[in-house]
């Protein structure tokens, strides 16, 4: 029986979404006329040379509800606003340079604009600087600088940065390893809905990593993730309930979560559900149903199910192992 382990720094989480809100149209004259709103904003940007209006002009070129997205024109306006000190425009420009949308891909320019935005307090830019320094993207790797920027963004409340700080503490990269600090930051990110952090919190409670083991807290966090519909997490939880691994042993709950995953078409869930039928612990032993589930899993290419059927055909001893 296999279970997942703590999600670490190989899953560092960068920010990829643009920041900023589109200008709101207060006048009835422009209500329902997106082109008019765009023209008015651009005219204001040209006339007033206000960095906020320039920034909004850039956003308007990327919003499909107002105009067909045009990354090149958006980059032009973000450049104007960024040169005038608009931190959000500096961050968005960094994203465009990193992705190569509207401008030629240039990681050095991305680093430059992210740095300016980060120094002005844009948490998303601080987090992305951390990722670039940790991975050596557009700059030489520097774990200490990576940790500094992750922590700066984490203190500012950014969930992805809080997860990344937890990851750095978890493996001792850029900072001394500290499982309690890792749990602290994973928990803060988890409370804001960060899924990877939620898994790490559940894992920590299940295994007593950085916090006292608490199977009921582990169950709460695992179930919160499983309810979101991820079949792999549902299988993980079902197997944990079956074995009493970090959560209270409960065969009925094991069957419930394996069924949920199987209904999504997971061949691994079908195979494990068959093993549950063979065990007879959560339901009456029904070999016909169990074999049917194994065949379904085998037809979908699940190796363990295929090996099971080969052993059955040869009348070899069969080991009803979960996977």
SS3 for the chain, per residue? Answer: CCCCCCCCHHHCCCCCCCCCCCCCCCCHHHCCCHHHHHHHHHHHHHHHCCHHHHHHHHHHCCCCCCCCCCHHHHHHHHHHHHHCCCHHHHHHHHHHHHHCCCCCCCHHHHHHHHHHHHHCCCHHHHHHHHHHHHHCCCCCCCHHHHHHHHHHHHHCCCHHHHHHHHHHHHHCCCCCCCHHHHHHHHHHHHHCCCHHHHHHHHHHHHHCCCCCCCHHHHHHHHHHHHCCCCHHHHHHHHHHHHHCCCCCCCHHHHHHHHHHHHHCCCHHHHHHHHHHHHHCCCCCCCHHHHHHHHHHHHHCCCHHHHHHHHHHHCCCCCCCCCC
Residue of 110 and 59 predicted with greater confidence:
110
pLDDT tens-digit profile of 14-25?
666 776 654 443
Domain positions in the chain are 214-323
Res. 164 pLDDT band, cuts 50 70 90: very high
What is the C-alpha separation between 62 and 70, in angstroms, rounded? 6
pLDDT of residue 244: 86
Residue 39 has pLDDT above 50, yes or no: yes
Average pLDDT value for the chain? 84
pLDDT of residue 23: 43
Residue 50 has pLDDT above 60, yes or no: yes
- Enter the tokens of residue 323: 């996977």
Least confident among 98-102, 143-147, 276-280, 297-301: 276-280
What's the CATH class of domain 214-323?
mainly alpha
pLDDT tens-digit profile of 260-285?
998 888 888 888 888 888 777 766 66
Residue 132 has pLDDT above 90, yes or no: yes
Quote the pTM value: 0.80
- Tokens 């190569």 belong to 100
Listed in sequence order, the residues at least 6 apart from 100 whose beta carbon sits closer than 8 Å to its beta carbon are none
pLDDT tens-digit profile of 212-241?
999 889 889 988 888 888 888 898 888 888
Least confident among 43-52, 65-74, 100-109, 293-302: 43-52
Res. 287 pLDDT band, cuts 50 70 90: confident
Res. 149 pLDDT band, cuts 50 70 90: very high
pLDDT of residue 115: 97
pLDDT of residue 308: 80
Residue 128 has pLDDT above 50, yes or no: yes
pLDDT more than 90, % of the chain:
44
Least confident among 52-56, 123-127, 200-204: 52-56
Res. 293 pLDDT band, cuts 50 70 90: confident
Nearest to 120 by CA among 64, 81, 63: 81
If you average pLDDT over residues 201-211, what whole number do you get?
93
């Amino acid at each position: 029986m296999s279970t997942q382990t703590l999600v670490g720094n190989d899953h560092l989480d960068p920010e990829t979404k643009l920041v900023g809100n589109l200008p709101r149209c207060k006048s009835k004259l422009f209500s329902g006329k997106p082109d008019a709103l765009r023209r008015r904003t651009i005219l204001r940007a040209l006339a007033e040379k206000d960095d906020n209006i320039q920034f909004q002009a850039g956003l308007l070129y990327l919003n499909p509800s107002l105009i067909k997205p045009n990354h090149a024109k958006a980059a032009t306006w973000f450049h104007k606003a960024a040169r005038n000190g608009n931190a959000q425009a500096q961050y968005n420009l960094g994203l465009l340079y990193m992705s190569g949308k509207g401008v030629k891909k240039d990681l050095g320019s991305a680093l430059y604009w992210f740095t300016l935005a980060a120094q002005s307090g844009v948490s998303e830019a601080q987090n992305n600087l951390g990722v670039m320094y940790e991975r050596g993207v557009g700059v030489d790797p520097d774990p200490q600088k990576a940790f500094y920027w992750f922590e700066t963004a984490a203190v500012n409340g950014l969930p992805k940065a809080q997860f990344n700080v937890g990851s750095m503490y978890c493996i001792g990269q850029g900072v001394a390893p500290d499982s309690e600090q890792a749990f602290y930051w994973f928990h803060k990110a988890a409370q804001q809905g960060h899924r990877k952090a939620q898994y790490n919190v559940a894992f920590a409670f299940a295994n007593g990593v950085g916090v006292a083991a608490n199977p009921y807290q582990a169950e709460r966090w695992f179930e919160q993730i499983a309810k979101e519909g991820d079949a792999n997490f549902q299988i993980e939880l079902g197997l944990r309930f079956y074995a009493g691994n970090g959560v209270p042993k409960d065969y009925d709950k094991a069957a419930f979560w394996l069924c949920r995953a199987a209904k999504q078409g997971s061949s691994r869930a079908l195979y494990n559900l068959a093993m549950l039928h063979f065990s007879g612990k959560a339901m009456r032993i029904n070999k016909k149903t169990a074999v049917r589930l194994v065949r379904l899993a085998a037809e979908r290419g699940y190796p363990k199910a295929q090996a099971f059927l080969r052993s059955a055909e040869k009348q070899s001893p069969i080991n009803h192992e979960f996977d």
